[in-house]
Amino acid sequence: MSENTPHQPIILIIDDEIQMRRLLRVTLEGNGYRVFEAANGQEGLIEAAQRRPDIVVLDLGLPDMDGQSVLERLREWSEAPVLVLSVRDGEEDKVAALDHGADDYMNKPFSTAELLARLRAARRRAQPVADNVVFHSGHLQVDLSSRLVTVKGKEVKLTPTEYSLLRLLVRSAGKVVTHRQILKEVWGPNYGEQTHYLRVYMAHLREKLEEDPSRPELLLTEPGVGYRLKSEV
């Protein structure tokens, strides 16, 4: 958390639609955020530099520059989590935004509850996490320090690959991790395109961790983009 906002988290909304900004402001201020607005990319970058927001909500379709390049410019000096909020629902846009450092991606139209949950998750991820933290979600419990994975209290044996896949998802719990990010992290930089590895191992993981592997509740697929481990907020 930034030192100049002791009580309220600061949020910056970069969106050219005034109606959208108005709606977000009402919702977010009602939920304890201090809201700043920018109507285009340039303004957004200036505001981000001045206000040092804890989190940024970014629209991709801006009048002066593309949202993706706003994201790149922002990432040059800021670590603040960025939630992309866009009407573009093509998976290429999502993947590009996530690969360029966006923390999360939501399509318009969206529900307020979902947005607030995602914002909370993003802020929590932004806090430094100790490796010995034990992760809980539903019946699943993962102790990263002792490499112990249990479902309903029973220990589950995972292969090393399955474990490193799970560990990556736990570290980014609640956030979409793209195929490429997973493949590079788990299998190495040369395996970025081998999606079928992922499909196979994800099926294995679900088999071992999900209550009903055919209706997964924890390891969620983001179509065309990647996977997300459901986190309890």
> Can residue 189 be called a binding residue for other proteins (CB under 8 A)?
no
Binder of other proteins out of 6, 32, 63, 188 (CB under 8 A)? 188
Stretch of residues binding other proteins (CB under 8 A), selected from 5-13, 34-42, 127-135, 180-188:
180-188
Nearest distance, CB of residue 91 and other proteins, angstroms: 5
Q: Spell out where the chain has E strands.
A: 10-14, 34-38, 55-58, 82-86, 104-107, 134-137, 140-143, 148-151, 154-155, 176-178, 219-222, 226-229
Which residues inside 106-165 make contact with other proteins, applying CB under 8 A?
109, 111, 159-161, 163-165
Q: Burial code of 113-141, b = ≥16 C-beta within 10 A, e = fewer?
A: eebbebbbbbbebeeeeeeeeebebeebb
Binder of other proteins out of 216, 218, 228, 231 (CB under 8 A)? 216
Q: Could you identify the residue written with the tokens 């990263």?
A: 144
> Can residue 220 be called a binding residue for other proteins (CB under 8 A)?
yes
Nearest distance, CB of residue 27 and other proteins, angstroms: 14
Cβ distance to other proteins smaller for residue 82 or 176 = 176
Q: How does strand 154-155 pair with strand 104-107?
A: unpaired
**Contact assessment for residue 62 and residue 14, using Cβ atoms and an 8 Å cutoff:** yes
Report the first-to-last Cα separation within the chain, whole angstroms: 18
Nearest distance, CB of residue 161 and other proteins, angstroms: 4
> Can residue 214 be called a binding residue for other proteins (CB under 8 A)?
yes
The β-bridge partners of 222 are: 226
Binder of other proteins out of 91, 117, 124, 141 (CB under 8 A)? 91
Q: Which residues bind other proteins (CB under 8 A)?
A: 89, 91, 109, 111, 159-161, 163-165, 186-188, 194-197, 199-203, 214-216, 220-221, 223-224
